[in-house]
Amino acid sequence: MMSTWLEKLGIFARAPDTRPASEVIADIDQELEFHMAERTAELQQQGWEPASARAEAEHRFGDRARVRRECVKVQLGEKIMWQRIQGISMVIMMLTMVFVAFLLVRQNHALVAQQNQTAGTTHLLYPQLVNAKPNVLEYLTAHERNKVFVEGPYGLPDGRSSTRSAAVSAWRSELEEDPKDTRKTEEVASRLLALPDQRGIDILVDLSNDLSQEHFDPILKPLIKNLAQPGFLRAVEALVEAPERPSIAVLRGRRAVRAYSWHQTPSPEWYARWRDEEPAEVLRANAELFAMELQDLLGENITLNREHVEALECARADLYAAHQIDLGALLGKRVDPVALQAKAKVYNQRTQELMETVASWILESKKR
């Protein structure tokens, strides 16, 4: 039984005829026609009329069309079977390729979505990434898909996104386009600072070594005005340290930096004061002092002073430190963009609450 099946499958048969089907069929036709011709000739030799002889030969031969079909099936059946197997294999292979391509595209979409999701956390990750273990950085930078994650999408002056280095170059050209037009430069600087996620600060820090002297004043002015915003002091600090011949704006900036003391770790006394006393009371009192300081610097009616800001920064530093610990813990294990996004969201939300508190104090101070 088994051998019969194997035989039917052609296992014991010779390899399929590799000639074209038309050639095989022509051979069959020729062979059958030879038989008919020989039989007809023999019958004619026996005295049959040609037409009768041919008819008799066909009669003895039987159903020629059926015989031809059977011969073709025997000769080409396996070939057709192999062709079908080949065709089916091709279809399966193509479907597999399409499926794999679909999976790759879907995975790519997921990566892009993940990158978009993590884009907002970039500025928070930088300090941590700089201090991260080499193998973590190596991993992040070695994978193209993490490039955006590491560098973040930086806005160009025309609104498009780019890498940090390209953005720095583009904004520098924009800022240096017309050095004498301080109003325009100030407007460009304001647009730069308005980039989301404080990307403008990062770009300004990068620019601080390259910007020409005449651009400092128009850039510093909006920066100093926004000194209480997160990260602005870092930009001011970077800018005011660069020029060899400081302008009035640079001198003011330096004063602002000293007053603001963002870069200094808050003293234990400040921490103790902030922790032991009601934060709102501390912040309220110090905000008034900081406003006075700013009023001196900018000549505008702002009622915040240094102590306010220091107290504010104590609170913010505390938040930031906690956030850094969270980031460190996450980076120590594995980079989980969703978790980072959540942490960044909480951090930003708390920072925003603090800033709103200060803003309300400013308004109250103005009323008084």
List of residues contacting other proteins (CB under 8 A): 7, 10, 12-14, 27-28, 30-32, 34-35, 37-39, 41, 60-64, 66-67, 70-71, 74-75, 78
Let me know the angle formed at the C-alpha of 279 by 122 and 289, rounded to the nearest 5 degrees: 90
The distance of closest approach from Cβ of residue 100 to other proteins in the complex, given in angstroms and rounded to an integer, is 40
Rounded CA gap, 300 and 68, in Å?
A: 107
Query: Which DSSP category does 277 fall into?
Result: S
Asked whether the beta carbons of 286 and 307 are under 8 A apart, the reply is yes
Task: Count the Cβ atoms, other than its own, within 10 Å of residue 67.
Answer: 14
- 73/345 with CB nearer other proteins: 73
- 6/194 with CB nearer other proteins: 6
The distance of closest approach from Cβ of residue 18 to other proteins in the complex, given in angstroms and rounded to an integer, is 14
The distance of closest approach from Cβ of residue 85 to other proteins in the complex, given in angstroms and rounded to an integer, is 18
- 32/285 with CB nearer other proteins: 32
Backbone angles phi, psi at 155, to 5 degrees: -75, 135
- 72/339 with CB nearer other proteins: 72
- 7/49 with CB nearer other proteins: 7
- Measured CA to CA in angstroms, residue 250 lies from 140, 202, 209, 244, 302 at distances of 38, 19, 14, 10, 20
- 10/157 with CB nearer other proteins: 10
Rounded CA gap, 354 and 314, in Å?
A: 11
Rounded CA gap, 31 and 68, in Å?
A: 10
- Measured CA to CA in angstroms, residue 102 lies from 106, 107, 109, 221 at distances of 6, 8, 11, 53
The distance of closest approach from Cβ of residue 25 to other proteins in the complex, given in angstroms and rounded to an integer, is 12
The distance of closest approach from Cβ of residue 74 to other proteins in the complex, given in angstroms and rounded to an integer, is 4
Three-class SS state of 162: strand
The distance of closest approach from Cβ of residue 38 to other proteins in the complex, given in angstroms and rounded to an integer, is 4
Asked whether the beta carbons of 206 and 173 are under 8 A apart, the reply is no
Strand pairing report for 154-155 and 161-162: antiparallel
Rounded CA gap, 349 and 210, in Å?
A: 34
Task: Count the Cβ atoms, other than its own, within 10 Å of residue 250.
Answer: 20
Q: Residue 270 is which amino acid?
A: W
- 35/255 with CB nearer other proteins: 35
Asked whether the beta carbons of 176 and 212 are under 8 A apart, the reply is yes
The distance of closest approach from Cβ of residue 51 to other proteins in the complex, given in angstroms and rounded to an integer, is 19
Rounded CA gap, 22 and 79, in Å?
A: 13
Chain centroid, CA 314 distance in Å:
35
- 74/272 with CB nearer other proteins: 74
Task: Count the Cβ atoms, other than its own, within 10 Å of residue 259.
Answer: 21
- 41/242 with CB nearer other proteins: 41
